[in-house]
Structure 1
Amino acid sequence: MAEVVVVVFDFDRTLIDGDSDNWVVTEMGLTHLFRELRSTMPWTSLMNRMMVELHSQGMSVEDIEDCLKRMPLHPRVIESIRAAHRHGCDLRIISDANQFFIETILKHHGLLGCFSEIVTNPAFVNVEGRLNIVPFHDSASSPHGCNLCPPNMCKGLVLKRIQAADSEFKERRLIYLGDGKGDYCPCLRLGMRDFVVPRKSFPLWNLIFSDQTLIKAVIHEWSNGEELAGVLLDIIDRILMDENTRTGLIASPDSGCKTTQVSYP
């Protein structure tokens, strides 16, 4: 029954506690240059410039991988992702980080195979062995036109595409977990049967509670990895219990998301 549950994660400061871009910048000694250039170019272009700098210093893609593998991931978050995947939930990531950083971290923790889709800024290694990071949206040739989102990615359009592509979406329940301003646009697209899970006192949480009437979804806040994991699994259990009741199944009391058939006279 868990195929009725679609879980969409932001990545930085949500699935991982910190920011993968800042982690690489700090750990690989780029803080001074990053701050010097911060006001001169968009964030994604700036991160690509940092990759140019690392390459010029003789740093390899493997060095960047090793740096990313040292980034901590809360053990309860790892457990909750694996549990949700075991129960058949459709897990996805929509992130303004980049493909290389996200996949490296997830693969290191054995989680990459849990996700059906990762939508983020593309990254690739060129013939010179340098990592390139490019924007998801090309703001010059095909601007997305959303004034709520940064020029390189409108997460609301990504979520709209996910909804439109699923012919049975009306039967599915969506859980969106995020923290930043860029997560607000997709949350406005959630329906009354969906859930939004914002990180407390972060920009998404502030935007939601500045006018809560704009959000149709049920809101559950969280503050750290322990709370995120607990809230996520509680919501999944709640959705499955609702679905079990609707379809004539009840949850086995000792199994969380497992179900047993109800016999009617």
Structure 2
Amino acid sequence: MRRCCPALGLSCLPKAGPMAAARPPPFLLVFDFDETIVAENSDESVARGRALPEALRQSPRGGSYNEHMRRVLAFLGEQGLRPAELRALYESIPLAPGVAELLQFLSKHRPRFELVLISDANTFGVEAKLRVAGAWSLFRKVFSNPAGFDSHGILTLGPYHSHRCPRCPPNMCKGKILGEYLAERAREGAEFRRVLYVGDGANDFCPAGTLRAADVAFPRKGFPMHRLIQESQEKQPGAFRAAVVPWESAVEVVRYLQELLRGEC
């Protein structure tokens, strides 16, 4: 009898038919975008080398970064940055170390992982990069600030939503987004064995803090998410419930996922 072992390429799912599509994967893998999937902050990449006015050179302290980027993108558009050029800028942002290998691994094991992305960047830039990386189809859902071109070819940017979380920026609470997504998927019959969260920023600490003991947080080593988790563990041991697996290269995430699948065999 053929043994069921996805880690070895032997699928537990039927080869075809409606049941194969209907059965939800056992693991939910959540990604950040800036400095997680890509090596840089995409907002900074787009503005790099541009002669911005003094008011737009520095991110606002205590103000809305989303509103700041709306003004930056409007200024760049008014200065002649066209949609095709802007798309090329997003497409050229390098992937973070090991991410190409991680995406290849996930492509090979699609029945085992459901992928979503939660990013405080924008829908246009995220989609442009994921498509050129051949990874757009891997993601079931992408949550990011809405963006689209107006009649003058200027990329307009809006907030994702409003919320009451004191930790997160006013335009996006990733913890709220993740919680709502899990509730929606539960109503649809998806019960994930584990939630796996890969991120780097301070705004990734909020959703990571909602993870259960069975779940795993993958903070990029030395980045704000990692430091906040360490501070939380020192101040309140046990308050941060998820397992923590820091990474410098996403190949380390691949190795963990490989072991996870072997444990399922």
2:126 counterpart residue number: 102
Greater RCO structure (CA 8 Å; 6+ sep): 2
Superposed displacement of residue 144, structure 1:
0.7
Name the counterpart of 2:226: 205
What are the residue-to-residue correspondences of 1:132-143 with 2, within 5 Å? 132-137=156-161, 143=162
- The 3-state SS of whatever aligns with 1:92 is strand
CA distance in structure 2 between the aligned counterparts of 1:37 and 1:211, rounded to whole angstroms: 27
Cα distance in 2 between the residues matched to 1:111 and 1:82: 9
Distance 1:75 1:199 in 2: 11
Aligned counterpart, 2:101: 79
- State the alpha-carbon separation in 2 of the partners of residues 199 and 156 from structure 1: 18
Q: Quick one: which of 10, 15, 18 aligns to 2:40?
A: 18
| Greater per-residue helix proportion | 1
Q: Which residue of 1 aligns with 2:88?
A: 66
Instruction: Show the 5 A alignment for 1:83-232.
Output: 83-88=105-110, 89-137=113-161, 143-167=162-186, 168-212=189-233, 213-223=238-248, 227-228=249-250, 230-232=251-253
Distance 1:198 1:154 in 2: 18
Match of 1:261 in 2: none
Runs of 4+ deviating beyond 6 Å: none
Deviations 1:213-247 (A, max 9, x none): 22111110012xxx22x222122222222322xxx
TM-fit CA distance, 1:21: 0.1
- Counterpart contact for 1:78–1:111, Cα < 8 Å: no
TM-score of the pair, normalised by structure 2: 0.82
Match of 2:142, SS state, is: strand
CA distance in 2, matches of 1:102, 1:135: 15
Aligned partners of 1:97 and 1:120 also within 8 Å:
yes
* CA distance, structure 1, for counterparts of residue 192 and residue 149 of structure 2: 40
